[in-house]
Amino acid sequence: MFPQQAIKAEKGFLELISSLVEKNISDGVDDMLQSIASKHEEHLYLLQQRARKDASILHRLSKVASTLDQKGYYDLADKIDEIMKEIK
């Protein structure tokens, strides 16, 4: 799923910036790196919110598919399951 890959990339980038900040660098470079890190922390937060929303939607679709399956609408339930697999 795209948000999970992007979350992993953002976390890796933030770890890289953190390791650079720990080195003996000038105040100006430190400020610049902190500014970049701040923006990427915002990206990470938004991506995590997106991932939670996607998980919620998938959970609700799973419930709908289960209900359809219980009521005998097997074809519709199978189609929902197929779409959910594509999204994941």
Residues 38-85 have pLDDT tens digits of 999 999 999 999 999 988 988 998 999 999 999 998 899 999 988 888
- The residues near 9 (Cβ < 8 Å, ≥ 6 apart) are none
pLDDT above 70: residue 1: no
- The residues near 36 (Cβ < 8 Å, ≥ 6 apart) are 17
Q: Report the C-alpha gap between 47 and 41 in whole angstroms.
A: 10
Q: How many residues does the chain have?
A: 88
Strands annotated E in the chain:
none
**pLDDT value at residue 2:** 75
Q: How many domains does the chain have?
A: 1
Q: Report the C-alpha gap between 66 and 52 in whole angstroms.
A: 21
**Structural domain harbouring 49:** 2-87
**pLDDT value at residue 48:** 95
Section 8-37 average pLDDT: 94
**pLDDT value at residue 84:** 84
**pLDDT value at residue 85:** 84
